[in-house]
Structure 1
Amino acid sequence: MKTLMRATAIGLALAVTAAAPAALAQAAPPAADTMFRATTLNLSAYGETKVAPDMATITLGVMTEGKTAAEAMQANAARMNAVVASLRKAGIPDKDIQTSNLNLNPQYRYQENQPPVLVGYQASNNVTVTVTDLKRLGPAVDATVSAGANQVHGISFGLSDPTGAENAAREAAVKALAAKADLYAKATGYRISRLVSLSEGGGYAPQPPMPMVAYAAKREMADAGTSISAGEMKVRVDISGLYELAR
């Protein structure tokens, strides 16, 4: 009798345990199921605004040669010091001047059926300059060329604070998304019930550097005065939205 009662108790416990998950599953809100049963519209759009840049970044280089590695490096260091001094004189603060990419490479003369012959060394060094007053950009380039910079690798324009332009692009993106959703809803015989989710992708990115001619042996360009036009740059924001539709 005791054995039978114990078996009955265990059976009841197992039944209650098995029933608990089922009860919880029934009590859980059917959000996912509702989502799949609803008619939804998944769209993307973008907003774009144009704004004049207020800063620029330019990379200049010094390339020198020498019969020995020390000679090439010494000549490069002297010329780069002159370039940096010219930038300071043009009103560029030290915090906006950064040297990089110091390289030293042996130079060989090649002849057919002969081993290469070492003829000297070539040293190169770059300086990246951030200009926050675009009126100083042209004079700064001219000053560096006059001081010995013989390579100009590229220039890119940007915004010191892109927040305002980004927000304007966001507003344009939301308006474009809402207009597209309304068009699709009407075309399919529905109306927009609610916006379920909204996500943003992308945003402000500085323009890639524009290639500029290397100034090697072209001092006459500096003498004529370098004219650089910043123009306008585009700030774009991409968004995606999920709308629920209703009849």
Structure 2
Amino acid sequence: MKMWMRAAAMGLVLGAAAAPMALAQTAPAGAGDAVFRATTLNVAAYGETKIAPDMATINLGVMTEAATAQEAMAANAARMNQVMAALKKGGIAAKDIQTSQLSLEPQYHYEQNQPPRLTGYRATNQVTVTVRDLTKLGQAVDAVVSAGANQVGGINFGLVDPTAAENAAREQAVKALAAKADLYARATGHRVLRLVTLSEGGSFSPPPPVPMMAMSARYKEADTAVSPGEVKVRVDVSGVYELTR
């Protein structure tokens, strides 16, 4: 009887030990394991198109100084009204004129070992103007300066609708991405099996704004010359490819 009970106990132990081994052999591999069994390639590329701009934004305004705050603001308002009238006369719609700065600041004279002395007030009113007909841009600048604008910032050129340029850049980016993947695959003795993932990160690259000092030098001419040049539209993409032998 004792011999039989000992044998039965040994059988239970062996059976308990064998069960986990069988499960380990028949359990399916996890989804993450497939990534390590495949050879993948992560690459990035970009596409870029250049196109003539069809719009521009320009910052301009009026700065006035006077002995009192009321006088500074009144003088500024009078000159700014003339500037606004010149813009509208030049064909700029009200929706394309937006106030970007309105300020009134006291002005002080500083001397060593002396308290600051108030000398007057400075009023500033600036607007951002969108010009949709670039053939009239130079005339518009001349008109507002003649009307009293004494602050002109920079000009930024752009596109009213960049969709077509962006799509062209996307096509170039995808072609460049595929070509780069093929090159790496051949260099490592592989071939591209499929594209696994594709992601995009795009950026619009307008030319730098024309600085104020460069434009101020031109105001003495009969007509301000403005060269819009080209704007660049760039789209960056990245992708993961699966490779095979």
| Matched residues, number | 223
Aligned-partner SS, 1:225 = coil
Aligned-partner SS, 1:167 = helix
Structure possessing the higher radius of gyration over alpha carbons:
2
Aligned-partner SS, 2:136 = helix
Report the residue type matching 1:61 in the other structure. Answer: G
After superposition, what is the alpha-carbon deviation per residue over 1:198-244, rounded to whole angstroms, capped at 9, x for unaligned?
0001233544533222877x7x8155210100001110000000000
Aligned-partner SS, 1:91 = coil
Map 1:56-205 onto structure 2 (within 5 A): 56-205=56-205
Distance 1:215 1:183 in 2: 48
Aligned-partner SS, 1:76 = helix
Report the residue type matching 1:73 in the other structure. Answer: M
Distance 1:214 1:83, change over 3 A: farther
Report the residue type matching 1:231 in the other structure. Answer: G
Q: In the alignment, which residue of structure 2 is the partner of 1:224?
A: 222
Distance 1:129 1:108 in 2: 32
Conserved? CA contact 2:54–2:160, under 8 Å = yes
Distance 1:90 1:235 in 2: 30
1:31 is displaced (CA, Å) by 2.9
Distance 1:148 1:177, change over 3 A: same
Name stretches of at least 5 consecutive residues in structure 2 with no aligned partner: 1-19
Aligned-partner SS, 1:64 = strand
Report the residue type matching 2:236 in the other structure. Answer: D
Aligned-partner SS, 1:73 = helix
Distance 2:199 2:88 in 1: 45
Name stretches of at least 5 consecutive residues in structure 1 with no aligned partner: 1-18
Report the residue type matching 1:91 in the other structure. Answer: G
Report the residue type matching 2:71 in the other structure. Answer: E
Q: In the alignment, which residue of structure 2 is the partner of 1:8?
A: none
Aligned-partner SS, 1:226 = coil
TM-score, normalized by length of structure 1?
0.84
Distance 1:66 1:33 in 2: 77
Distance 2:27 2:172 in 1: 43
- Of stretches 199-208 and 141-150 in structure 1, the one that deviates more from structure 2 is 199-208
Conserved? CA contact 1:145–1:222, under 8 Å = no
Conserved? CA contact 2:196–2:242, under 8 Å = yes
Distance 1:79 1:214, change over 3 A: farther
Distance 1:102 1:195, change over 3 A: same
Q: In the alignment, which residue of structure 1 is the partner of 2:3?
A: none
1:118 is displaced (CA, Å) by 0.5
Report the residue type matching 2:61 in the other structure. Answer: G
Distance 1:200 1:207 in 2: 23
Kindly, what percent of the aligned residue pairs are identical?
68
Conserved? CA contact 1:76–1:124, under 8 Å = yes
Aligned-partner SS, 1:204 = strand
Quick check: 1:242 aligned with 2:243? no
Distance 2:103 2:143 in 1: 23
Distance 1:128 1:45, change over 3 A: same
TM-score, normalized by length of structure 2?
0.85
Q: In the alignment, which residue of structure 1 is the partner of 2:7?
A: none
Distance 1:34 1:214 in 2: 61
